[in-house]
Amino acid sequence: MDPEDTRKFPLVERFVGLRMGVDLSAVSPGATAVVESSRRLRCEQSYGYVHALWWTWLEDGRSAISVPPGAKRAVAALAAGVLSAGELSGPDLVERLKIPVNRALAASAMPAVDRVAATVSVASSGPLPERAAPCECRRLAGPDVPVAAGLTLPSHAFPDGVVYGVVADGVVAAVAYAHRTGEMENLVADMGVETAMPYRRRGYARAAVRAVAEHFASTGGESLYTTSPDNAASIATASSAGFRPWARGLVLACPPPT
């Protein structure tokens, strides 16, 4: 990707930076900024777990890591030896990062890291590609339409959030929505998507994702879609809906304190 292409998503960049506690626009390509933030000790709103370490490596080579208070120095030393985004999910690096992060968590009476997630993020600002084959995709205001077996509606996004569902056979077969993150909710969609098993591979997820992205793009907003690097189907869905590569990442997470 052309370095300037990554910067075509300034709202997404600001949104992620706010949540990480770092000004991503001030980071130079090839550099890694490490910051300490008290937000690494709190649950991310609507996610239910704590991003104890949050590493974002943008497509143009800018890199930033947000860690709990007390972990910056040790994490920065480890990060100095990482030269590409492809190294982020290496098991040896993950285990070495856990040591200072868990030490910082323990100092704040927090549980230790119990999950690790490698991520790939794509973004959209419009214009979007032509619509796919027709289907009934509508904005949902609540659980007023029956839901297909195995599908869960994002209750945290009702009644004021942005949720679109594809209705087939009288039920919601696929849903896409913007998480309620508490940051720039009217400008950036931090997207989630789910499709009931019997309705997969019909283009329904793409239609719902596109509807949410179009909703935000119509008022000058942007959308962010994050998934696992090995989830080819999810990446293909976002790509076909007009999303472009934005960043790779690593999250070391822990439960909220009891």
CB-CB contact of 52 with 43 (8 Å): no
Whether residue 3 has pLDDT greater than 60: no
- Please give the model's pTM, rounded to 2 decimal places: 0.92
Same domain? 10 vs 81: yes
The whole-number average pLDDT for the span 98-123 is 97
* pLDDT of residue 186 exceeding 70: yes
Count how many domains the chain has.
2
- 67 and 116 belong to one structural domain: yes
- Report the distance separating Cα 247 and Cα 68, nearest Å: 22
Which residues, 6+ apart, have CB-to-CB distance to 72 below 8 Å?
Answer: 34, 35, 36
Percentage of the residues of the chain whose pLDDT score is greater than 70: 96
Do 118 and 15 fall into the same domain? yes
How far apart CA 120 and CA 57 sit, in angstroms, is: 9
Which sign, positive or negative, has the C-alpha torsion 135, 222, 27, 41? negative
Query: Measured at the alpha carbon of residue 117, what is the angle toward residues 16 and 84, in degrees to the nearest 5?
Result: 75
CATH number at residue 221: 3.40.630.30
CA nearest 53: which of 78, 29, 30?
Answer: 78
Q: Tell me: do 149 and 80 sit in the same domain.
A: no
Q: Would the pLDDT of 217 be above 90? A: yes
Q: What is the pLDDT of residue 133?
A: 64
pLDDT value at 225 more than 80: yes
Give the C-alpha separation, 83 to 197, whole Å. Answer: 39
Does residue 114 lie in a domain region? yes
Task: Tell me what pLDDT residue 128 has.
Answer: 78
pLDDT tens readout for residues 57-106? 999 999 999 999 999 999 999 999 999 999 998 999 999 999 999 999 99
Tell me: do 170 and 59 sit in the same domain. Answer: no
Same domain, 83 and 167: no
CA dist., res. 98 & res. 112, Å (int): 9
Do 225 and 154 have their domain in common? Answer: yes
Q: Is the pLDDT of residue 2 over 60?
A: no
Q: Which residues of 96-119 are buried (b: 16+ CB within 10 A; e: fewer)?
A: bbbebbbebbeeeebeebeebebb
Strand partners, 245: 122
Q: 114 and 147 in one domain?
A: no
Is there a single domain that holds both residue 12 and residue 87? Answer: yes
**Alpha carbons 101 and 68: distance in angstroms, whole number:** 7
Q: Is residue 130 domain-resident?
A: no
Range of the domain at 77: 3-123+248-254
What pLDDT, in 10s, does the model give residues 32-70? 999 999 999 999 887 889 999 999 999 999 999 999 999
